[in-house]
Structure 1
Amino acid sequence: MLPIEDVYPQLVEQLTSHKTVLLQAPPGAGKSTWLPLQLMTDQNFKRIVMLEPRRLAARNIAQFLAEQLNEAVGEQVGLRIRQEVKVSSQTRLEIVTEGMLTRMIQQDPELSDIDLLIFDEFHERSLSADTALAFALESQAALREDLKILVMSATLDSERYQRFLDCPVVSSQGRTYPIEERYVTLKDESQWLMQIAPMIRQALSEESGSVLVFLPGQKEIRYVANALHSELEQSPNIELCTLYGDQSKAHQQAAISPAKAGQRKIVLTTNVAETSLTIEGIRVVIDSGKRRAGVFNLRTGVTELATLAISRASAIQRAGRAGRIEPGVVYRLGSKEQFERRDAHDKPDILSSDISSLILEATVWGTNLADLPLLDRPSNAQYQQAKQLLIELEAIDKQGKLQPLGSKMQALGTEPRYAHMLLKVQQLEPEFSGITRLACYFLALQDSKVKSAPELSSTLRQLQYQAPPQFKKQLQYWCKRAKVHDDGSELAIEHIAIVVALAYPDRLAKRRGQGFVLANGAGVQAHSEYWLDTAFLAIAQLGGHKGQTIFSATEFTPELLKPVLPHLFCAKTVCEFEQKNSQFIHQDRVYLGQWIVSEKPSSTPLDQAARSQAWLNVVKQQGLRVFDTLGECASLLVRLQLAAKLYPEEFSPCSEADLLQSLENWLAPYLNDIKQYNQLKKLDLKVALLARIDWQKQQRLNDLFPERIKVPSGSNIRVNYQLEGPARLAVKMQEVYGMSDSPVLCEGRLPVLLELLSPAQRPLQLTQDLAHFWKTSYKEVQKEMKGRYPKHFWPDDPATAQATNKVKSRM
């Protein structure tokens, strides 16, 4: 009996009385297999759709469930994944993945005839799963109150998810058998891969049963397989299998099936086997603690695969594979302390990936990202990058409004870059014969992950005549989608730069020094042996450190692309001051993104407005220090900032940053007659600054923050204002005799610190309470000063004495 059976009545009851339910069930509970089949068999729901995040798991679950009914997939149990759809009028339980559910909701927001949506292994938080759940919740709220949603996983952050979904939680016990944890410490983290084969040997000698080994990717799988090859040749009772997403069905099935009688199996796998997949006979798990994940670089727009440490939740998932049939063992690479320091959960895709597909889906859905019910929200930087890409792909306009091509792109059900390319090449086919077939070759190369030479065109030529099976499979798929026949004729390779530009307009690059600069302004590194004299590159594959290494590209000329992608090119008349040569540059330029395609002297006269704008740009770049008169304005700037701080309802902010942001408002009128850089430097900044406020506010500023204060001696003493702390007034002590209290500024809001000086202008006392000083510390000062400065007046009662700036003999 599976653990999920114990909570089944409770789950059905909750689904009956609530719209949404959260199910937490660890590995082995039966939530992905027994539960959906039982819900269908009991006829609690007429039609169920279950989302699986991985194609391998979806295919195997569908196959397993169909076998339980002695049926083929496509009858009562259906399957809908990329390149494989098996459904019929009999289908009552459909397993879907790869964004398929999102497409179903977009095409039919009411989800007609569907009673229950199940989101399996939701903790994996793929972008497509987040998108589909958001749309499902909106459909449920606005169109289908009777629609039920079941979100389930082995390692959910239950409290957080429950708050987000506002629903009850049903918890099930997990594996039936205990799992012993063993930790293998590492002396050198960089040598972690070399430790895997010895761990496998140790597990084989210490434990019985088959072994499941989790590794980050295919490269590591090949390394470990080679390390074990010679000794396994001597052990006929041990079978070595590999399991990863890009394998054929036959290879995957061989890895999943139980070992033959009297034999043991070693399965080297990626994290495809982490969830919703049962591998028969496994009772030992070896966990490298690593995974391969995409790390998105906002600057270059590249998602680069990186090897990362897994979270504790993933580690628990992996260990769960060992306790399905009997007590098991997990060997973890690293110490227990390292394990406990791992993140609790893996970072969701929505926070670490290109979200252009999500924005396009939301736009077609008729909403914006801010209004979608999302558990986590991407950053503004992610949003701006994705929005700019969709503008370049002609899916939306600058205001974010959906364009006709954007609707067609979304309907294709593939990523926006590929969708844009496919639709455009079909439009261009009459003029550029063979470009659609060439695009299919390019897409097959991208999807099959076949290694490409740096020069893209040579790789495609070679693949036409000598291609591995995975490339041929992808080529057949894309040719079918594009409705084009691969007739074996020569590829129209001369169009390859257009094909690349249609998918990667942001990766069009211009030479800069020894490297190149992308259309978005990011610098990238060229290959040391290729494109040495090339001015422009269309980059197909970009990655490496910080996503800045060109792996595959081809040369192009802007003249070739301009008729095809005119919206990428922007003509501007530019007026700039070049300080090096002390001259204006007045040019007509054509830009592609941030780099200049062409430039020539402008055909229009240099007008006053353009010149003033150029001076404003100089000030924005250099700051207020460009003005020689800045020093004379130091006190005024501080007074204006204090006024904004203490009287925000009367005075606007006046920091340098605020001033530079509003140059057009206050500085531009003073630039009309400026024709030379030296004239700009000598501009009277004080006049321009005061002109920001009207005459009444200028008077108010002088009343609140006077430049000078008149003291009892008749002298007008300059006030030194500071942004933090009191104003300072440095004055000879004799000049404030007769002043009983410290001066007051800003209606008492700003204290004044008196710096009382000796006749030789040396500090004697700092005080903000003059009356207290006269009564206390003054006596000590008087005693000392009488001896040092006998010619000066040192009265016994300074609070009532006559102030003076003279010696006694001249008073």
Structure 2
Amino acid sequence: MLPIESIYPLLISELHCQSKVLLQAPPGAGKSTWLPLKLIRDGHFKRIIMLEPRRLAARNIAQFLATQQQEPVGQSVGLRIRNDVKVSNYTKLEIVTEGMLTRLIQTDPELTGVDLIIFDEFHERSLAADTALALALETQMALREDLKILVMSATLDTQRYQQFLGGPVVSCEGRSFPIDTVYEPLHDESKWLDAIAGLVVKALKEQHGSALVFLPGQREIHRVAQMLSAYKLSDTEIVTLFGDQDKHTQQAAIAPAKAGLRKVVLTTNVAETSLTIEGIRIVVDSGKRRAAQFNLRTGVTELSTVSISRSSAIQRAGRAGRIEPGVVYRLGSHEQFERRDSHDTPEVLSSDIASLLLEAKIWGTELIELPLLDQPSHGQIEQATQLLEMLEILDKNGKLTPLGNKVHSFGTEPRLAHMLIKAQALEAKLSGITTLACYFIALLESRVTSSPELRVALLNQLERPHHTFTVQLNQWLKRLKLAKPLTLATEHLSIIVALAFPDRLAKRRGQGFILANGAGVNSHDSHWLSDDYIAISALGGHKGQRIFSATDLSIKQLNDVLPYLFTHYSICEFDDKKGRFLHEDRTAIGELIIDAVPSSKEIDITTRTQAWLALIEKHGFVLFTQYDDVKPFLNRLSLASRFYPSEFNNLDELALFKEINKWLAPFLHDVKQLTQLKKLDLKSALISCLDWQQQQLLEQILPTRIQVPSGSNVKITYQLEGPAKVSVRMQEVYGLTETPKLCRGQLPLLMELLSPARRPLQLTQDLAHFWKNSYKEVQKEMKGRYPKHFWPDDPATSQATNKVKSRM
């Protein structure tokens, strides 16, 4: 009996009563196989869609369930993945992956006929899964109250997910078979890869059965396979399993070991979830994965090897207990394991979100309005918006363009869809450019290349194509109904790159290049050494600044074919170094200045004012010579905004700076020289932000001076954090029984009591307490040091003075 069977009645009850349910069940419990099959057999739902985050798992689950039904895939159990759709009118359970569910919802927002969506292995938090869940929740809230959503995983952050979804949690304890854990401490963390092969051999000697070895990527897989071959394991077959393999190779890897042999499967995260490999009872976990981190500056996703989270480690271990009791060998100590993060960072926080932003626009909403478990950062949204504008998907107002709708309907990554659609439109003018685009995509997707120069790499594939490249190419040629060419129109290559990667058009700057998105990258060691402009298709390495693949770029050709990439504008700015205004007419591609000539127009007041404001925004208020004198006033405004937001809204320094164009611009109209600007009466400009009532209120609640019992008006020093402060000679506050209050008692006042020589004697915020307690010690010392001054026994009731005793 599978563990999931014990909670099945409760789960059914919750699904009928609640619109959203969370299911937490360990690996091997049967949630991905037994449960969906039981649901359709019992007829609780007419049609179910189950989202699987990985194609290999989706394909195998669909095949397994169809076999259980004694049917081919496409009957009661269907499959919908990229380039492989098998569904029919008889389909009751449809296994989908990647962006397929998102596309289904965008095409039919009501999800006609579907009454349950299952999100399997949701802990992986792929961008596609987060997007699909957000749209499914929108559909449920606005269009389909009867639609049910079931979110499943072995390692959910339960409390947080439950709070987000607002549904009950159904938990399934225990697993099908127990799993023992063995930790293998490392003496040198940097040599972890060298230790893997030995750990695999150790596990094979200590245990029976086959082994699944988790590694970060293909490079490590091939390295370990090579090291294992040196051990001459005669009774063991070494196979590899990763996402880029064709499905036949993958099926062979997960098939049972041949009679009389054991199998060692070297794999990536592709086998971490929802996948049963027959005969596996040993897991060897490197504790590493390849993580994608999006570089906002360069617009490049960089891959790095990092430690997996505890939840991922639990998922990996679960592969060992699917068929019989198993054991997991973890590289590293138990202490190291406990120090890992509880969950991996979701893709929505570490990826290029251009596709997510496009989905939101197609859905008819803003990204921040979508019900996402984690909202991407402002920087991510800004970068994605700029990219979609360069791809003509959004206009300058952030609105979806007609081309944007075409790009979305094309059904592939926005960059590539834009390139293919535009290439087809240019075909009549630039013969062969569409076929060239197919070759370019095949090169990107197959990741086989022989040269950093794109032209050379493509011609090599034309003459001696790699098998993986051919598979990708044939799919694209078939889709666009094109024949294989005898030659390639590589003269259009830079246009192709510009259509897909307009943000990576680059101009030489010093020893490197600057990209159209403003980021700097390094020169290549051996290519494009004399080119002023290049079009880059692949970047990476340290800080995303290494050029992996590019080609030379003709600006004239680009302007002739893709004029929309060029902007023409005038600038007027003050050049700090030259001490004068720079007034130019410019032609640019993003941040790349292609051409600049002196402007024929005169600098009018508005233009000059905006230039001054830009200079102030660059340097801040410290640009003004009066700043130190004005700083106390700025502090008072900030405090007033904090304590009285309704009366002094947006008058703190940061808010004032954001609104500088409104209140400072009128004071700049007659400023023509930098010296004039620096001497500007900044305080008068700031006071103009306050009406008469605000000015009066400011003086009441936060006065610049306070009168003490001696009659002196003492200056108050305000700070943004902590109390206000006054420094006053002690004799001048005799008779004051409690500390004065500022801001109607909301702001504490710190009194620094001074000696007759104005040296600090005491700091206090409770004057009454000081008079009763610490004052006696001060009096004793001061009487001896300053005998001519008045040191009464009861200062709280004595007369204040600023004179010596003889003149009182």
Q: Structure 2 length normalisation: TM-score?
A: 0.90
Does 2:580 match 1:583?
Answer: yes
Q: How far apart in 2 are the matches of 1:796 and 1:316?
A: 74
Cα RMSD (Å) of the superposition?
3.4
Q: Report the CA distance shift for 1:318/1:405 in structure 2 as closer, same or farther (over 3 A).
A: same
Q: How far apart in 2 are the matches of 1:312 and 1:712?
A: 67
Q: How far apart in 2 are the matches of 1:12 and 1:647?
A: 54
Q: CA deviation at 1:664?
A: 2.6
2:179·2:325 contact (CA, 8 Å) conserved in 1?
Answer: yes
Q: How far apart in 1 are the matches of 2:743 and 2:265?
A: 81
Q: How far apart in 1 are the matches of 2:803 and 2:18?
A: 88
Q: How far apart in 1 are the matches of 2:46 and 2:56?
A: 26
Q: How far apart in 2 are the matches of 1:345 and 1:378?
A: 17
Q: How far apart in 1 are the matches of 2:20 and 2:635?
A: 59
- Match for residue 719 of structure 1? 715
Q: How far apart in 2 are the matches of 1:771 and 1:343?
A: 50
- Match for residue 685 of structure 1? 682
Q: Report the CA distance shift for 1:652/1:278 in structure 2 as closer, same or farther (over 3 A).
A: closer
Alignment of structure 1 residues 343-382 onto 2, 5 Å: 343-382=341-380
Q: How far apart in 1 are the matches of 2:763 and 2:43?
A: 88
- Match for residue 661 of structure 2? 664
1:572·1:589 contact (CA, 8 Å) conserved in 2?
Answer: yes
Q: Which amino acid aligns with 2:410?
A: L
SS in 2 for 1:305: strand
1:313·1:345 contact (CA, 8 Å) conserved in 2?
Answer: yes
SS in 1 for 2:356: helix
Does 2:161 match 1:161?
Answer: yes
- Match for residue 247 of structure 2? 249
1:293·1:306 contact (CA, 8 Å) conserved in 2?
Answer: yes
Alignment of structure 1 residues 553-592 onto 2, 5 Å: 553-592=550-589
What is the CA deviation profile of residues 484-504 of structure 1, one whole-angstrom value per residue up to 9, with x for unaligned ones? 22222x211111111112111
Q: CA deviation at 1:10?
A: 4.3
Q: Report the CA distance shift for 1:118/1:781 in structure 2 as closer, same or farther (over 3 A).
A: closer
Q: How far apart in 1 are the matches of 2:672 and 2:222?
A: 69
Q: How far apart in 1 are the matches of 2:125 and 2:539?
A: 26
SS in 1 for 2:32: coil
Q: Report the CA distance shift for 1:680/1:240 in structure 2 as closer, same or farther (over 3 A).
A: same
Q: Report the CA distance shift for 1:128/1:753 in structure 2 as closer, same or farther (over 3 A).
A: closer
1:612·1:671 contact (CA, 8 Å) conserved in 2?
Answer: yes
What is the CA deviation profile of residues 101-129 of structure 1, one whole-angstrom value per residue up to 9, with x for unaligned ones? 22122212222233433322222222212
SS in 2 for 1:397: coil
Q: Which amino acid aligns with 1:221?
A: I
Alignment of structure 1 residues 600-615 onto 2, 5 Å: 600-615=597-612
Q: Report the CA distance shift for 1:111/1:672 in structure 2 as closer, same or farther (over 3 A).
A: closer
1:635·1:720 contact (CA, 8 Å) conserved in 2?
Answer: no
Between stretches 658-667 and 221-230, larger displacement belongs to 658-667
SS in 2 for 1:177: coil
Q: Report the CA distance shift for 1:675/1:189 in structure 2 as closer, same or farther (over 3 A).
A: same
Q: CA deviation at 1:637?
A: 4.6
Does 2:107 match 1:114?
Answer: no
Alignment of structure 1 residues 53-132 onto 2, 5 Å: 53-132=53-132
- Match for residue 673 of structure 1? 670
Between stretches 236-245 and 647-656, larger displacement belongs to 647-656
Q: Report the CA distance shift for 1:745/1:134 in structure 2 as closer, same or farther (over 3 A).
A: closer
Q: Which amino acid aligns with 1:338?
A: Q
Q: CA deviation at 1:297?
A: 1.6
- Match for residue 544 of structure 2? 547
Q: Report the CA distance shift for 1:361/1:642 in structure 2 as closer, same or farther (over 3 A).
A: closer
Name which one, 1 or 2, has greater alpha-carbon Rg: 1
Q: How far apart in 2 are the matches of 1:573 and 1:306?
A: 42
Alignment of structure 1 residues 316-335 onto 2, 5 Å: 316-335=314-333
SS in 2 for 1:326: coil
Q: Report the CA distance shift for 1:682/1:2 in structure 2 as closer, same or farther (over 3 A).
A: closer
SS in 2 for 1:231: coil
1:795·1:801 contact (CA, 8 Å) conserved in 2?
Answer: no
- Match for residue 152 of structure 2? 152
Q: Which amino acid aligns with 1:182?
A: V
Q: Any unmatched runs of 5+ in structure 1?
A: none
Q: Report the CA distance shift for 1:641/1:193 in structure 2 as closer, same or farther (over 3 A).
A: closer
Q: CA deviation at 1:322?
A: 1.9
SS in 1 for 2:717: coil
Q: How far apart in 1 are the matches of 2:116 and 2:769?
A: 82
Q: Any unmatched runs of 5+ in structure 2?
A: none
Q: How far apart in 2 are the matches of 1:118 and 1:802?
A: 80
Q: How far apart in 2 are the matches of 1:65 and 1:630?
A: 74
Q: Which amino acid aligns with 1:578?
A: D
- Match for residue 594 of structure 1? 591
SS in 2 for 1:719: strand
Q: CA deviation at 1:32?
A: 2.5
Between stretches 653-662 and 473-482, larger displacement belongs to 653-662
Does 2:427 match 1:425?
Answer: no
Alignment of structure 1 residues 706-745 onto 2, 5 Å: 719-723=715-719, 724-728=722-726, 730=728
Identity among equivalent pairs (%): 57
Q: How far apart in 1 are the matches of 2:104 and 2:786?
A: 97
- Match for residue 229 of structure 1? 229
- Match for residue 384 of structure 1? 382
Q: Which amino acid aligns with 2:718?
A: Q
Does 2:493 match 1:496?
Answer: yes
Q: Which amino acid aligns with 1:298?
A: L
1:507·1:538 contact (CA, 8 Å) conserved in 2?
Answer: yes
Q: Which amino acid aligns with 2:203?
A: A
- Match for residue 263 of structure 1? 261
Q: CA deviation at 1:570?
A: 2.6
SS in 2 for 1:296: strand
Q: CA deviation at 1:803?
A: 6.5
What is the CA deviation profile of residues 73-120 of structure 1, one whole-angstrom value per residue up to 9, with x for unaligned ones? 333332221122223344333222121122122212222233433322
Q: How far apart in 2 are the matches of 1:208 and 1:754?
A: 79
Q: CA deviation at 1:399?
A: 3.6
Q: Report the CA distance shift for 1:153/1:769 in structure 2 as closer, same or farther (over 3 A).
A: closer
1:452·1:552 contact (CA, 8 Å) conserved in 2?
Answer: no
Q: Which amino acid aligns with 1:389?
A: L
- Match for residue 505 of structure 2? 508
Q: CA deviation at 1:353?
A: 1.4
